[in-house]
Amino acid sequence: MSAPQSPCSESVIIARLRAVGCVFAEDEARLLISAAQTPADLAAMVDQRAEGLPIEHILGWAEFCGLRIVIEPGVFVPRRRSEFLVKQAAALARPRAVVVDLCCGSGAIGAALAAALDPIELHAVDIDPVAVRCARRNIAAAGGEVYQGDLCEPLPTALRAHVDILVANVPYVPTGEVQMLPPEARDHEPRLALDGGADGLDVMRRVTAAAPLWLAPAGHLLIETSERQAPQTVETIARSGLIPRVATCDELGATVVIGTSPALPSS
């Protein structure tokens, strides 16, 4: 008769995580085992994950664009699909670009752009003080500034008409669909980072209305959205005077709408 397996063995942890619906149970088990200092720590971490706490909150970090991003409890966890937003922004940025990351959450997008485009002038904004504290930890090495406040309101006025890249991973889940999100998001991430209003586009509209004031000539606004919401986002961006286009990535299930401000007429 074989001896019972330890509750801290990898196979037991994998089985438990699978039982509660963790899609990447094997990977998560290895991460938890490597992060735990003691068997008691590991048991507690597995319990937390089984109860639905995002693994990034348990570990204290998330991998994003090859970086290890600090994640504090209660902060929105960057999604892998947002790496496409970073890729699109990096492709449009000119040398020493002025970059603003709105609704920055942990600061993952700004930190990834700083790593890809060094040097840039980086500014990031979030309304949530917990997110702001977390973002400051993640973009300090890039020399970025993080402000607490509502969208563009706390930005220095000197940035008006000087922003080359304005990225915004705004909340875009319709209010009525928030309850259908996975428990990790619904129960453990801030509602204001998820809920985009009745049709999911309330914050997008506000960002788009403000963008022309801040963008430099030929500057770019990039907004992550859903494929379903992209046509309305394009219409809104066009009405603001920006030139819209849509970029998609099937592999990541990502949709980004880009609005470009007119260039100055050549003399």
Looking at the structure, tell me whether residues 46 and 101 fall in a common domain: no
| Together in a domain, 228 and 138 | yes
Q: Is the pLDDT of residue 116 over 90?
A: yes
Q: Is residue 4 part of a domain?
A: no
Q: Which distant-in-sequence residues (6+ apart) come within 8 Å of 133 by Cβ?
A: 72
Residue 66 has pLDDT above 60, yes or no: yes
Whether 35 shows a pLDDT value over 80: the answer reads: yes
Q: Is the pLDDT of residue 167 over 80?
A: yes
Q: What are phi and psi of 62, to 5 degrees?
A: -135, 145
Same domain for 165 and 234: yes
Closest CA to 46 of 73, 15, 74: 15
- Do 21 and 147 belong to one domain? no
Q: Is residue 122 part of a domain?
A: yes
Determine phi and psi for 137, rounding to 5 degrees. Answer: -65, -35
For residues 219-225, give the mean pLDDT.
98
Tell me what pLDDT residue 3 has.
Answer: 43
Edge-to-edge strands of the sheet including 121-126?
Answer: 145-148, 121-126, 98-102, 163-168, 215-225, 254-260, 243-249
The CATH number for 246's domain is 3.40.50.150
Kindly state whether residue 265 falls inside one of the protein's structural domains. Answer: no
Q: Residue 168: inside a domain, yes or no? A: yes
pLDDT tens profile 126-165: 999 999 999 999 998 788 999 999 999 999 999 999 999 9
212 in the same domain as 129: yes
Of 172, 130, 127, nearest to 154 (Cα)? 127
Q: How confident is the model at residue 5 (pLDDT cuts 50, 70, 90)?
A: low
Residue 216 has pLDDT above 60, yes or no: yes
The confidence score (pLDDT) of residue 223 equals 98
> Does position 113 have pLDDT exceeding 90, yes or no?
yes
User: Measured between alpha carbons, how far is 139 from 259 in angstroms, rounded to an integer?
Assistant: 25
Q: Given a cut of 50, is residue 99 above it in pLDDT?
A: yes
Determine which helix (DSSP H) or strand (DSSP E) holds 16, and give its type and residue range: helix 10-19
Higher pLDDT, 24 or 232: 232
The residue among 259, 153, 151, 266 whose CA lies nearest residue 212 is 259
**What pTM did the predictor assign?**
0.91
The single-letter code of the amino acid at 156 is P
Tell me the CA end-to-end span of the chain in Å, nearest whole number: 88
Nearest to 127 by CA among 100, 155, 154, 149: 149
Name the percent of the chain lying above pLDDT 70.
Answer: 97
Does 86 lie in the same domain as 66? no
Mean of the pLDDT values across residues 62-75? 95
- How many separate domains does the chain show? 2
Confidence of residue 118 (pLDDT cuts 50, 70, 90): confident
Query: In the predicted model, is pLDDT for residue 189 greater than 60?
Result: yes
Q: In terms of residue numbers, what domain contains 57? A: 10-70
Mean pLDDT for the stretch of residues 3-16: 75
Are residues 113 and 53 both part of a single domain?
A: no
Same domain, 22 and 141: no
- Residues 33 and 142 grouped into a single domain: no
Q: Among 70, 100, 120, identify where a domain stops.
A: 70
